[in-house]
């Protein structure tokens, strides 16, 4: 699988223990989830294609799906993050032969991991059930978010709700409702493709998910992380 620089390349859910998440997402999406590696990390696949990762994480904070964006030069991308007003939470480091990563956050607090790939094939996006359908940035300062993403990743924030690079949509964005926290908070929400959204919502809730305030097709999983559902 070939990855295109400047596009979403991987997602994972950082959690201390993976059993609950593995049971939930495995039942909901039909994922085959590998045994943990030496670090406790597990890769989920659909028909033999990797789609996402689970764990581990020691951070006691709120759970969320981490979005990775592929970059050609991890050190240069991390420097661009700092120069644009973002924060480099974890400096560039190697993940074995898979690639190199840097954990960052934009000026509004939205976490984003930069990834310079080597052997990691990236997430499978066939459009089929259980694969990544897209990611959405929720931000209280769209103009500032657009400026930042433009400087770091070459993305353009469009008024139609898309984020594009070289004319191709790479993500979407939504404006947060007005409020005292909105200008200073931002986050990413991942969405997965499903054959039938209504059926998937009912099944997810039966498996322990809860409705969220973001609409009927955005749920909170049993670990506390938001995720969306999109029809294939």
Q: What is the CATH number of the domain that holds 77?
A: 3.10.180.10
The Cα–Cα gap between 1 and 7 comes to 14
Please report which confidence band the pLDDT of residue 121 belongs to, taking 50, 70 and 90 as the band edges: confident
Domain that holds residue 47: 8-231
Please tell me what DSSP assigns to residue 131.
S
2 occurs within a structural domain: no
Please tell me the predicted confidence (pLDDT) of residue 183.
53
- Domain membership of residue 56 (yes or no) is yes
Residue 3: inside a domain, yes or no? no
Tokens of 58: 């020691």
pLDDT for position 223: 95
pLDDT tens across 10-52, in order? Answer: 999 999 889 999 999 999 999 999 999 998 999 999 999 999 9
Question: What's the number of domains the chain is made of?
Answer: 1
- Length of the chain in residues, anyone? 232
Q: Which residues face 113 on adjacent strands?
A: 68, 103
Question: What distance in Å separates the CA atoms of residue 69 and residue 173, rounded to the nearest whole number?
Answer: 16
Whether residue 171 is contained in a domain is answered as yes
Rounded Cα distance between 26 and 39, Å, is 21
52 part of a folded domain: yes
Cross-sheet strand order for the sheet of 168-175: 156-157, 162-165, 168-175, 132-139, 186-194, 226-231, 215-220, 210-212
User: For the residues of 141-179, what is the DSSP string, one character each?
Assistant: -HHHHHHHHHHHH--EE-TTSEEEETTEEEEEEEEPPSS
The predicted-structure confidence for 151-203, as pLDDT tens digits, reads as follows 999 999 999 999 999 999 999 999 998 665 555 579 999 999 999 999 999 99
Residue 1 lies in a domain: no
pLDDT score of 56: 87
Q: What residues contact residue 127 under an 8 Å CB cut-off, 6+ apart?
A: 133, 193, 232
Task: Find all residues with CB under 8 Å of 172, minimum gap 6, and list them.
Answer: 134, 135, 136, 137, 161, 162, 163
Q: What is the DSSP letter of 4?
A: P
Express as a percent the part of the chain with pLDDT over 90: 88
Residue 144 CA to residue 216 CA, distance in Å, equals: 29
pLDDT at 184: 56
The two three-digit tokens of residue 196, written as one number: 């039938």
Structure confidence at residue 44 (pLDDT): 98
For 229, residues 6+ apart whose C-beta sits below 8 A from its C-beta are 191, 192, 194, 197, 200, 201, 204, 217, 218, 219
């Amino acid at each position: 699988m070939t990855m295109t620089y400047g596009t979403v390349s991987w997602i994972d859910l950082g959690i201390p223990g993976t059993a609950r998440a593995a049971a939930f997402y495995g039942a909901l999406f039909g994922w085959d989830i590998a045994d943990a590696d030496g670090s406790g990390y597990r890769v989920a696949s659909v028909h033999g294609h990797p789609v996402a990762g689970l764990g581990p994480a020691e951070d006691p904070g709120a759970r969320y799906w981490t979005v990775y964006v592929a970059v050609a030069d991890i050190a240069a991308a991390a420097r661009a993050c700092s120069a644009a007003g973002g924060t480099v939470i974890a400096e560039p480091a190697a993940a074995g032969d898979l690639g190199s990563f840097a954990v960052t956050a934009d000026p509004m607090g939205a976490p984003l991991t930069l990834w310079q790939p080597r052997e990691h094939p990236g997430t499978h996006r066939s459009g089929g059930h259980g694969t990544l359908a897209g990611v959405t940035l929720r931000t209280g300062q769209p103009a500032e978010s657009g400026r930042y993403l433009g400087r770091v990743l070459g993305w353009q924030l469009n008024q139609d709700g898309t984020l594009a690079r070289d004319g191709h949509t790479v993500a979407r964005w939504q404006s947060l409702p007005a409020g005292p926290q909105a200008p200073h908070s931002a986050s990413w929400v991942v969405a997965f493709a499903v054959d039938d959204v209504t059926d998937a919502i009912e099944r997810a809730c039966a498996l322990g998910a809860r409705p969220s305030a973001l609409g009927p097709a955005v749920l909170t999983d049993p670990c506390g992380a938001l995720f969306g559902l999109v029809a294939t």
